[in-house]
Amino acid sequence: MTEFEIEEEKREILRQYRKLLRHAKPFLKDDDAKIIKKAFKMSQEAHKNMRRRSGEPYIFHPLAVAQICVEEIGLGTTSIISALLHDVVEDTEMEIEDIERHFGKKVARIIDGLTKISGVFDYGTSQQAENFRKMLLTLSDDVRVILVKLADRLHNMRTLDSMPRHKQLRVSSETIYLYAPLAHRLGLYSIKSELEDLFLKYSEPVKYAEIVDKINASKAPRDRFVRNFINPIQKELSKRDLKFTIKGRPKSIYSIWNKMTSQEIGFEKVYDLFAIRIILDLPPEMEKAGCWQVYSVVTDYYQPNPDRLRDWISTPKSNGYESLHTTVMSKTGTWVEVQIRTKRMDEIAEKGYAAHWKYKESDQSSTESGLEIWISKVREILERENASAIEFVDDFKHSLFNEEIFVFTPKGELKKLPGGASALDFAFEIHSEIGARCIGAKVNQKLVPINHKLKTGDQVEILTSNKQKPNEGWLSFVITSKGRTRIKDELKEQKKSAASEGREIVKRKLKQAKLELNSENLDKLLNRFNLKSALDFYYLVGKGKIDPKDIKKIKSNSEKPRKSIQQTYSDIESFQRTIKEVTGEKRDQLLIGEDMDIVQYSLAPCCNPIPGDDVFGFVSTHEGIKIHRINCPNATELLSKHGHRVVKAKWTSQSEVSFLAGLKIRGTDRVGMMNDVTKIISSELKVNMRSIAIESENGIFDGSIQLYVQNTKHLEMLTKKLENIEGVEEVARFDIH
């Protein structure tokens, strides 16, 4: 680097630091500025020889994270210091004790929560899950650890361009799986939306770019529409001497894509592409009446959809979110979502937890907030000492549900549950013992089974029996972390009891065959019955699912115990080397791993990738490398929990090999439609079909075709040809399971 460039970098670092202090100035007290300067100097010194993947000095990252904490979340001095130093312990020789000596226990505890666990992990565990659990252990004492982590994740996502593709996928999948729902749960809606949009940018770059282009192209007519829509409302509100601002904003790219995907529609058919937000400036005692007054004005001019009214003012969401939402029909025949809230509500909606607590301090009410209740539930999950980190992440994920329902006890007490909760979830919400003994429920005086899904407004009475015990099937419909935790604990106790009996049976049978119960014989038994753990084996024997007579047969079986992949390989590199030694030769045209070698693999049946698809390899425990599509329904979870088992994979040019793919086709029916479709597929493009099914009702036809194609380009060409057939409205790929 030239001397000029070095000097320019130094000036830019100083500019960023001064910008941070400028935003922090309104709440700095006493020696805060000096302590922040000390943290900045320490971070600068610690990272002085480090650069990010993009080539810029590393110090830009902690400065940017601190800036997000102040400007976008509204945090104070402790969080600024923690953000500036959050990577120091992980990346340098400095210890947590050094941080505590210079900046106190609070900062040290937050940084400890943000510092990743190092060391070697067992093959069946997940380093990502272990680190996430460690961070959440700190959450139960100080929620700022999560807020700083979200700021860190947001900046990493904003600068993900410089990372290699497989790392982009791992980081973005982890973000959508855990961090975006966590931002939502803490009420950080703007951060949640940006994280979701950035996930889409890296996971579905083509779709993302298409939606961005279409939003930009429709900006001028959209702005004109918004002006015409809000004009009569503005005039009426001004007459009533209300202080207000009105904004029209497009929905997030991710929410538009989600709607297009879930409803299988094009961009043009997403009716609520934007929302109108009316923000009132009112004192707390007038907020509720003022919002309903505005609702009255809006519905005087525009017809509301009665099914789309959401009143989160009377009953706020448990993350503190308050707003009144309605969807109304405009004069041009377009549905428009209108959000009505006050300045206080808007700040809580944008900045979440930090703003919520700012207003709580000025509020004398001592009622426990929904956020505090949720954090106490997270503590309950964390207290399960015998749960694996992956189990913990699963249970925690269940506690991040977006929607909520409000139900009542027989005495009229309100309970909040995640959308999709069952009567059994409600039973566990009242008390874990009531849940464990639940046999049914009465919902609105009517008898229902324990898996009955509850709706907002239901009044629920739980029926119990001392003879009832939780079973495995309960986990298929219980979604609250409290309920799932108790069920899993009970099942483990039941399993241990059955396994204890099973062990005695095994010991007895081996003794009859003049054999000992030792590790060598246990390995033989596990291999014979294709089981991974001794506990599973003993349990199945205890439950009578393995015939005790078969245990003696290992005496005559001289086969050595086979080593599973789990026992043999601790890393991907050794796994790949061994596969190459065993297979020697090529298979198909997929290059795998950092060196882009040809190794043996199989295609995952959950998403049926075909040549040309954007794919990744996943080292499974027993089945070698499985190839998944990037947009496979299981991809997010695999990349989030087991990023260390993901390998790069890329298709090369193809030979004439056929792969099974599925197409859905929809449109208006006419005579000869079926003939035109099959003619394009079979005659024109010479594609072999596995099956075709078309149904027609009231002039609309829906069809699904399974066919063999060479690659994605071949499939795209076929899709375009089918779209050009008269009467065909939509053609979309679907996964064949």
For the chain, the structural domain boundaries read 3-162, 211-362, 369-401+479-560, 566-651, 659-734
Give the domain 3-162 fold: Hypothetical protein af1432 (1.10.3210)
Cβ atoms of residues 170 and 643 within 8 Å: yes
Q: How far is CA 82 from the centre of its chain?
A: 26
Higher pLDDT, 440 or 265: 440
pLDDT value of residue 62: 95
Inform me whether the pLDDT recorded for 84 exceeds 80: yes
- Report phi then psi at 436, rounded to 5: -65, -25
Tell me which DSSP letter residue 446 carries: E
Most confident of 14-23, 318-327, 367-376: 14-23
Q: Does the structure show a pLDDT above 50 at 215?
A: yes
Average pLDDT of the residues in 661-682: 81
CA distances to 320, 357, 711 from 369, in Å: 7, 10, 54
| Residue 269 pLDDT exceeds 70 | yes
| Residue from 482, 489, 472, 500 nearest 387 by CA | 489
Helix (H, G, I), strand (E, B) or coil at 591: strand
Rounded to an integer, the average pLDDT of 48-59 is 87
Q: Give the per-residue pLDDT at 438.
A: 93
Report for 135-144, 570-579, 715-724: range of highest mean pLDDT: 715-724
d(CA 290, CA 240): 11
Class of domain 659-734: alpha beta
- Could you read off the pLDDT of 56-82 as tens digits, one per residue? 899 999 999 999 999 988 888 999 999
- Dist. CA 526–CA 191, nearest whole Å: 48
Which pLDDT band holds residue 154 (cuts at 50, 70, 90)?
A: very high
Residue ranges with strand state E in 411-508: 414-418, 438-443, 446-448, 460-464
What is 301-312 written as a DSSP string? HSEE-GGG-EET
- Percent of the residues in the chain that have a pLDDT greater than 70, as a whole number: 81
Say whether pLDDT at 202 is over 60.
yes
- Please give the Cα distance from 32 to 23 (Å, whole number): 13
Closest CA to 469 of 429, 441, 439, 500: 439
The answer to whether 676 is a known catalytic residue is no
Q: Are 128 and 643 in contact (CB under 8 A)?
A: yes
pLDDT at residue 352, as a whole number: 72
Task: Tell me which of 8, 31, 45, 90 is the catalytic residue.
Answer: 90
pLDDT number for residue 596? 47
Residue 182 pLDDT level (bands cut at 50, 70, 90): confident
What is the homologous superfamily of the domain 211-362 according to CATH? Beta Polymerase, domain 2 (3.30.460.10)
List, as own/partner pairs, every contact residues 538-542 make where C-beta atoms lie below 8 angstroms and the sequence separation is at least 24, other chains included.
538/498, 538/499, 538/500, 538/502, 538/503, 538/506, 539/495, 539/498, 539/499, 539/502, 540/502, 541/502, 541/503, 541/505, 541/506, 542/497, 542/498, 542/499, 542/500, 542/501, 542/502, 542/503, 542/505
**Residues 441, 452: Cα–Cα separation, whole Å:** 9
Burial class for 167, CB neighbours closer than 10 Å (0-12, 13-18, 19+): middle
pLDDT value of position 210: 92
- Counting residues of the chain whose pLDDT is more than 90, the rounded percentage is 25
Q: In the structure, what pLDDT confidence band is assigned to residue 583 with cuts at 50, 70 and 90?
A: very low
- Residues 724, 342: Cα–Cα separation, whole Å: 50
Residue showing tokens 């990346």: 91
Q: For 649-659, write each residue's pLDDT tens digit.
A: 777 654 445 67
Q: Give the model confidence (pLDDT) of 341-399 as tens digits.
A: 999 998 888 777 666 555 554 444 444 556 666 666 666 666 655 556 666 666 666 66
**Stretch among 161-165, 464-468, 533-537 having the lowest mean pLDDT:** 533-537
Q: Please tell me the least confidently modeled range out of 88-92, 98-102, 204-208.
A: 88-92
The set of residues, in sequence order, having a beta carbon less than 8 Å from that of 151 and lying 6+ positions away, is 65, 66, 68, 69, 72, 73, 83
- The string of pLDDT tens digits covering residues 204-213 is 898 999 999 9
Q: Which among 8, 91, 95, 281 is annotated as catalytic?
A: 91
Determine the Cα–Cα distance for residues 656 and 630; give it in Å rounded to an integer: 24
- Predicted confidence (pLDDT) at residue 168 exceeds the cutoff of 60: yes
Position 492 pLDDT exceeds 80:
yes
- Tens of pLDDT, residues 717-729: 888 888 888 888 8
Compute the mean pLDDT over every residue in the chain, rounded to the nearest whole number. 80
Q: What is the pLDDT of residues 527-553, one digit of tens each?
A: 777 776 788 888 888 878 787 777 767
Tell me whether the CATH fold assigned to 211-362 matches the one assigned to 659-734. no
Clarify whether 413 is annotated catalytic: no
Residue 233 clears pLDDT 70, i.e. is over it? yes
pLDDT category, 280, cuts 50, 70, 90?
A: very high
Paired tokens of 600: 């043996």
